[in-house]
Chain A
Amino acid sequence: MQESSSRPGSGQRAAQTRLQLDTLPPSGDLQRYRLSGVLTLSGMLALEQAIADLPGVSYAMVSPSPDGGSATVLVRSEDTRGTLRGITNLPSFGIEASQS
């Protein structure tokens, strides 16, 4: 998830970047998602805090993979569907849920 190289002509790229969210099998009471795309360290922290602030969410963590190719998002929520909808509607992140 991190540190891909810049593309030209990307003035407000961070705000426009589409992040792909794939649902993974849950682990206990934690929902797991794979997040693919370009985020900065501050972007990842902001995302983690934004998810934690969603209604019904009691725990959220963004964990980038060591190879930097993706990140795993762990969420404990009373309303799984509502939380997923909330994540994809977070302003300024541009997160799309995978169709699969």
Chain B
Amino acid sequence: MSEVAEVLIISQDPEAEQWVTALRSASIVANSVSSYAEALNYVERVTSAEAVEEMRDCIAVLDGQMPIDVAFQSYKLLHSAHPMPTLLAVPPDRYRDYALDPHRSSLDEYLPKPFRPEELVLRVQAMMVRSGFQVPSWNPFSGGEHPEGFDQFRKGQIISVFAAKGGVGKTTISVNLAVGLTRFFGKKVLLIDGDLAFGDVGVRLNIASNKSLFDIASGGDVDFNSLADALVQHNTGVSLLLRPATPAMSERIDIESVSRVLYAYKSLFDFVIVDTFPALNDLNHHILEASDRIIVITTPEISAVYSTYRFLEVAESMGHAHKVLVVLNRANSGLRLDALERELGMNVDCTVISAGRTVVEAANRGISLFNYDQHEEEEITRDLARIVELIAGQPRSEVADGAGSYQAAASAGVGAGRRAFRRWRGR
């Protein structure tokens, strides 16, 4: 069997170029043709003696919505002397016919149209695995240059939650941000415990697993096939990537590969939330560099404000200033907001009231505040919802019935979230 397969798309669909871009973004050699003659030329090239010598082969994506004579000629070509695994894109009303077709070829798989480009990529990669080809050597989990089209294709956001000082409520905000984005906005969210030695995301959500970041970032290139295997699915709908089971394992994490892991997951999730360790170490530099936004948590105590100020200086020098959002936790328990903003030299984007007992009880039960206080009777829950809205980029009231009973309770907090969102966008 050949080592590497390229992809031939036979289609007259204007979106075919997007499909090519998406495949190339996953480092798959892909080309599209729109006629039988072009397809014939291509197939002759990839089945030539030279191609066989180079151990190259081909997987085809055939658009079944082309004129039937062109589609059938092309289909015959792909199943002739040099049969090729074929992903047949079929009209949705014909999918059942194909799936139940007693004459279907074992080489064929079917994909109902329309489909998203990333769906095509995953189906093609699965066909490569199934057909015994290597999935291309560059993938988001491995090193090397980003392939052409990668930046266009990746679509999620990496949000790191950082504090310059421990114990300021970073994990509480991370967990509730992740749960809130899923709960209120139906987003596909991954929460990563970036505190490799002592992180407690799993404890906060009452879930334990042997699977962790260690499984995909413990040295060298990351195993593409371990992508899903490393995750734990929580009953809130949030996917979790937990810290390694022991501190010793965390020391074997390949720091260099962490940002590649983040980029990879970013292409698969709407939001990747990283709960970081409160330090400016190599790991955090990689995480902050990869982040689209950095939520900096501080509290109204002079030591926390001082540490935060120093971090903001570093963030500015590293070119991260435009990514930073400042959240003041326990906002009612120390320095006044205006004094704190003066000290920091920048605005606070969101405030969260102190509610120690509520937070502790939710944490002890291993649930988010949104689960603990479902009717949002506590001000802290509404404050956390505003952070969720800020990151989602819209108030919950604008989401069609996804928020259910939470919308009404949240309405009081929408104004502040909207104002903060406008301020953020205005930067």
Contacts and interface: CB of A to CB of B under 8 A. Distances in A.
Interface of A: 1-3, 5-6, 10-15, 38, 40-48, 62-66, 68, 92
A23 to B, nearest CB: 22
A66 B69 contact: yes
B102 interface: yes
B365 interface: no
B421 to A, nearest CB: 46
B69 A44 contact: no
B78 to A, nearest CB: 10
29 contacts: A2-B68, A3-B91, A6-B97, A10-B96, A15-B102, A40-B94, A40-B97, A40-B101, A40-B104, A41-B64, A41-B75, A41-B88, A42-B98, A42-B103, A42-B104, A42-B105, A42-B108, A43-B103, A44-B72, A45-B103, A45-B105, A46-B103, A47-B103, A63-B69, A64-B68, A65-B68, A66-B67, A68-B67, A92-B103
Contact of A66 (B68, B75, B79): B68
Given A45-B75, A45-B76, A45-B79, A64 B100 contact: no
B145 interface: no
Contact of A13 (B62, B79, B97, B104): B97
Contacts of A3: 64, 68, 91, 94
Contact of B100 (A11, A46, A62, A65): A11
Interface string B64-86: 10011101100110010000000
A41 B96 CA distance: 13
B97 A65 contact: no
Nearest to A1: B68
A41 B72 contact: yes
Contacts of A14: 97, 100-103
Contacts of A12: 100, 102
A68 B68 contact: yes
Contacts of B71: 41
Contact of B103 (A13, A40, A68): A40
A44 B72 CA distance: 8
Nearest to B94: A3
Contacts of A10: 96
B377 interface: no
Nearest to A69: B68
A64 B102 contact: no
B93 A5 contact: yes
Interface in B89-119: 91, 93-94, 96-98, 100-105, 108
A6 B93 contact: yes
Contacts of B88: 41
A1 B97 CA distance: 14
Nearest to A40: B101
Contacts of A41: 62, 64, 71-72, 75, 88
B137 to A, nearest CB: 33
A65 B88 CA distance: 20
B92 to A, nearest CB: 9
Contact of A43 (B67, B93, B101): B101
A10 B93 CA distance: 12
A84 to B, nearest CB: 21
A61 to B, nearest CB: 10
A66 B104 CA distance: 22
Nearest to B91: A3
Contacts of A5: 93
Given A40-B98, A62-B72, 13 more contacts: A3-B94, A6-B94, A40-B101, A41-B64, A41-B72, A41-B75, A42-B101, A42-B105, A45-B76, A45-B79, A45-B103, A45-B105, A65-B69
A46 B98 CA distance: 13
A62 B72 CA distance: 9
Closest 5 CB pairs of A and B: A46-B103, A41-B75, A64-B68, A68-B68, A43-B103
